[in-house]
Homo-oligomer: A and B are copies of this chain.
């Protein structure tokens, strides 16, 4: 810390990203990336003309990407904003609208960090005892609400009607639904956009679109809210998406077939893997995401995490009550998940 740092940031704890291991050969199931590569269409950015054009600034409006996204979701281009990952989109939302923020006490670890970064008051709303979000807990509040749906790290989803109920009960509050994992079987709130001007949906290319490395996030909302988000962008970093990211994003979203196939394969693997874990005596929360949150009664979560690591399998463990006995396991390739089951049998059953 330098002597110049602002007082308000002296005690701020930044977000801790999941480990990006430098060693090769690990089965990496810790950061919810997709096991399948990006759409082959993305290879189209691989030509030297694209490289030559890097000499020019990108389009600050990212118009081609916005159009492709609007077409995919069947919304107007004025209802779409893009960011350098959904983290940047979330940051713009906190900046623009962050009065008091309500968020689930167990959810994406960045939600309270953003509040500190942008000096918003915030309040963690507890989950139920069975680790669910109770929609009734988000009714009649006096601030901006942010909910990951499906939630992380539980994987449990709310229905579209649950979200509708929250929107109805918060007509004067902005409700942000973070749909990072929605494509793996949950109900998206996109169909509600035309009815509610207090709804913002955040999505990312990092999970279902196999492009965590390209950093593309997006917001869908009514035109006025998108205008405000873009006002933040143009007052912060107008060229936030580079040329290669824009090209990548356009190519990937136009390949709907590949996208749907990858999601189906992940879902199928998740269902098989969940059944296998249950067979070994695990309690597995009902996941609609590309990960599962599971615990067993034979070994504490931290110890199980460590044993997996010793066997070259990386998952995520949160050393925090009441989830310290769980691990979050990203759904990888079939062969990776089979290996996972084998290793777990060895660890737990000897």
Contact = CB atoms under 8 A, between A and B. Distances in A.
Contacts of A144: 4
Q: What is the oligomeric copy number?
A: 2
A84 interface: yes
Interface in A32-75: 33-38, 42-43, 45-48, 51-60
A96 B213 contact: no
B210 A54 contact: yes
Given A12-B235, A87-B237, A227-B2, A34 B46 contact: no
B228 A242 contact: no
Interface in A198-236: 198, 206, 210-215, 222, 224-225, 227-228, 231-236
A317 interface: no
Interface string A17-45: 11010000000100101111110001101
A122 interface: no
Given A87-B239, A96-B6, A242-B214, A54 B42 contact: yes
A160 interface: no
Contacts of A91: 236-237
Nearest to A252: B54
A14 B244 contact: no
A167 interface: no
Contacts of A59: 20
A210 B243 CA distance: 13
Interface of A: 1-6, 9, 12, 14-15, 17-18, 20, 28, 31, 33-38, 42-43, 45-48, 51-60, 84-85, 87-88, 91, 95-99, 113-114, 116-117, 144, 174, 197-198, 206, 210-215, 222, 224-225, 227-228, 231-245, 248
25 contacts: A1-B224, A1-B231, A2-B197, A4-B97, A4-B144, A6-B96, A15-B235, A20-B57, A36-B55, A46-B47, A54-B214, A55-B212, A55-B213, A56-B213, A58-B213, A58-B215, A84-B240, A87-B239, A88-B237, A91-B236, A95-B117, A113-B235, A116-B235, A117-B235, A244-B245
